Every structure is written in structure tokens, then in C-alpha cells.
Amino acid sequence: MNTLRMKFLAVLAAFTLAGSMTALAQGNTATVKGHVIDPIGVVVTDGEVRFTKDKSAAMADEKMTNITPIDASGNYVAKGVPAGDYFVYVYQKGQATDRQELTVKGGVDIVLDFDMTTERYMQGLSPERRKEIEEFKKNAGATVAANAVIANLNKTLATVRADLAAAAPTKGDVTQDVANMKAATDAKPEESVLWIVYGEALVAQADHVAAADQQAGKAYTSDDDDVKLYTDSIAAYQKGIDINVASKKPTPEDQAVAYNAIGNINGKLGKVPEASAAYDKAVAADPTHAAMYYSNESIVLYKANQADGAVAAADKAIAVDATRPDPYYIKAQSLVGKATMDPKTNLLVLPPGCVDAYQAFLSLAPATDPRVAQVKELLASLNVKIDTSYKAPTNKKK
């Protein structure tokens, strides 16, 4: 009985001793964790945190323990660090970038952050290195601020363009878009695209006011506010063009679009020579769309009762692209005003080129175009037979 009791006590003692040793081992370690930020204020997302007790050894000879990685959020967690006095390092790409002293007590977890923007870190740097970091932070801050402005302006551009597209069919009010683009050009006046879209917003608002004037039976050209909106839009477009031309990477296509808009606006204001000059500049900037620009010019001149100019512009549009119906229509309509009366038949005699222009228009325009029926009716009234086999001349776009 005594023998059994002694064996039991021995087993119990061994178990208790083992348990005590485990508790003792756990009590002599701690978890150290923290967050790492570099001197610029950016979270460190790679590298390691290393511990050493060799505080008196040269760095190259220090034996590192408890090496733990820094995660993608800039955090590290070192578990089971034995009690003792340490140098704790941050290593990036094999180089030590920061160091702090730390005393670990068993069972007491510790938070040890590495914030290299603080005076603790900075005071150990040379004046030259401190100045270099401060300059970098200053420039980086300016870059971040600039990027924030650009992001906001891009959002404004997207919103304004969507608003203008939605308002165009009904000539809706776009006062807020005008204000937004004015603020955008104030924020970044060196950006040509902002001035061009500002011009788009101004002319859209001018069209809104003009529509209201027409509904009220008032000529919009007599409305000073509306004329100012149109004039301001021309100035905005021209500012955008000038900046674009002077830029390191000019975009002639954008310049042409702006000149075309200026031509259209001058046409609305009855400024025919200015409109023609703008269209010519659009063609010079982007010859690939010359047919469209010359066609627009012919329309403006036709509406301004400048028949000869309208015919000349239509001919230029046809010479570039003979497949567009509009220039033929404008040419024929401009020539028909020069018709004479035949005293023998008392019928109108159309000038040379007029019938051919009408025939070309009929051969190219879709049947659903309301002008088709009007032209057929006109030709029938003049006893001109419509040539259903007529084919307009063709050419390649230049």
C-alpha cells in the first residue's frame, strides 16, 4: 500500500512539475506587435521586424531572433519573444531602416510602433537627409493635392457632358453646368479641355435662352444676355484652342472641333466672315473631317442669304466627300434663287447646276427625309423629270 502511494505521489509530482514548467515557459515570453510607417508617412507593406539581444555587438555581428514579416497593411506580430532587453529593427530589402530599444517582460504583451515621421526617428538623421525628406514630403503633398483636384475635375467633366447631352434635345437650362465649368477653369486654367467644355456649356445655355426668346416672339440676337453667352462661349473655345496649340502635345482634332463650334456660333450671331474663317481653320487643323466643316459653312452661309458663298462652300464639301446629301441640297437651294422666267413658257428656268444638285440630293437622301418630298414637288412644278436612275458622283474621302 505504501509502495502504491509512493508511485502515485511520484506521478503526481511529475505531472505538477511539468505543468509548472509549461506555465513558467509561457510566463517568460510575450507577444510584440505594431504598425510601421516610413519617413514620408507611407505605410510600409514589405520587409521584416527583427529582434536581437546582442546590444553591444556590431550590427553585422548581431544575432537576430524572432524575425517576423510586415504584412500588406503595415502590421507585424512577433509571438513568443523571450523576456529580456532588445534592439528591435525594421529591415527593408536587407537594410536596417529603423531601430528601437525594447524591454520584454514575461507574460506582458507589448505594442511597439515604428513611426519614422516622428522626431524620435528624425533626430538621428543628418541635416541633409532631414531636408531631403521634408522636400520630398512637400512635393508629395503637392502631388497628392493635385491628383485630388484632377480626380474631382474628371468627375465634373463627366457630369457636365452627361448633362449637356441630356439637355440638348430640349435646350434645357444648364446654369449649374456653366457654373461648374467656370469653377473648373479657375481651378486648373492651363487645361485646354476644360475651356472647350466650358464653351460647350455656355453655348448650350445660350441656346436655352434663345429658345425661350423665340417662344416669346423675340429675336435672340436682341437679347444682350444671350448674345453675351454666345460671345463668352467663343472666348472659352478660343482659350482652349490657344492652350492646346501651345501645349507639348497638341491635339489638332480638338482644335478643329472648337473652331467648328466657333463657326456655328458666329453663324447664329450673323457674323458670316468670322464663321467662314473659323471653318477654314477647322479644316486646316483636321482635314479628315473637311467635308463636315465645309458642309456646316454652306449651311451658315445659306441661312445668312449668302448664296454665292453657300454654293462655294457646298462645292468644297462635295469635292472632299461626294456621298453626303446635305451639300447638294444647300447648293441647289442657293442656286434656285437665281432662277429666271422663260417668257415663252412662263416657267422658271433653273440656273446651271441646280437640277443636277437636286437630282444628286434625291439619289443620296433617305426616303424618310422630309426634304425629299419637297424637292420632288418643286421639280414637278417646273416640269423637270426626276431621274430615278441618277447616281451622284463618287470620290474617296481625303
pLDDT band at 142 (very low <50, low <70, confident <90, very high): low
Asked which of 285, 300, 328 is the last residue of a domain, the reply is 285
Is position 198 within any domain?
Answer: yes
Domain that holds residue 96: 29-119
Share of the chain above pLDDT 70, in %: 88
- CATH number, position 74: 2.60.40.1120
Regarding whether 218 and 110 lie in a shared domain, the answer is no
Is position 17 within any domain?
Answer: no
pLDDT at 397 over 70: no
Regarding whether 263 and 197 lie in a shared domain, the answer is yes
Is position 166 within any domain?
Answer: yes
- CATH number, position 263: 1.25.40.10
Regarding whether 277 and 188 lie in a shared domain, the answer is yes
pLDDT at 161 over 70: yes
Is position 132 within any domain?
Answer: no
Mean pLDDT of 56-74: 91
* Number of other CB atoms surrounding residue 378 within 10 Å: 16
Regarding whether 276 and 161 lie in a shared domain, the answer is yes
Is position 177 within any domain?
Answer: yes
Is position 266 within any domain?
Answer: yes
* Number of separate domains in the chain: 2
What's the confidence (pLDDT) of residue 42? 83
pLDDT band at 104 (very low <50, low <70, confident <90, very high): very high
C-alpha 7: how far from chain center: 85
Q: What is the rounded distance in angstroms from the CA atom of residue 201 to the CA atom of residue 160?
A: 8
Question: CB within 8 A of 337, min separation 6: which ones?
Answer: 307
Regarding whether 258 and 164 lie in a shared domain, the answer is yes
Regarding whether 152 and 115 lie in a shared domain, the answer is no
Give me 282's grid cell: 477647322
Q: What is the 3-state secondary structure (H, E, C) of 88-155?
A: EEEEECCEEEEEEEEEECCCCCEECCEECCCHHHHCCCCHHHHHHHHHHHHHHHHHHHHHHHHHHHHH
Lowest mean pLDDT among 116-120, 184-188, 340-344, 386-390: 386-390
Asked which of 285, 312, 347 is the last residue of a domain, the reply is 285
Regarding whether 87 and 168 lie in a shared domain, the answer is no
Regarding whether 90 and 162 lie in a shared domain, the answer is no
pLDDT at 29 over 60: yes
Mean pLDDT of 89-104: 94
Asked which of 104, 119, 134 is the last residue of a domain, the reply is 119
Q: What is the rounded distance in angstroms from the CA atom of residue 189 to the CA atom of residue 84?
A: 61
Beta bridge partners of 30: 81
The mean pLDDT value of the chain amounts to 87
Regarding whether 75 and 152 lie in a shared domain, the answer is no
Regarding whether 189 and 103 lie in a shared domain, the answer is no
Prediction pTM value: 0.62
Is position 228 within any domain?
Answer: yes
Regarding whether 157 and 111 lie in a shared domain, the answer is no
pLDDT digits (tens, 9 = 90+) for 329-369: 999 999 998 999 888 888 788 899 999 999 999 999 999 99
Lowest mean pLDDT among 4-8, 73-77, 150-154, 296-300: 4-8
pLDDT at 14 over 80: no
Regarding whether 271 and 154 lie in a shared domain, the answer is yes
pLDDT digits (tens, 9 = 90+) for 308-330: 999 999 999 999 999 999 999 99
Is position 242 within any domain?
Answer: yes
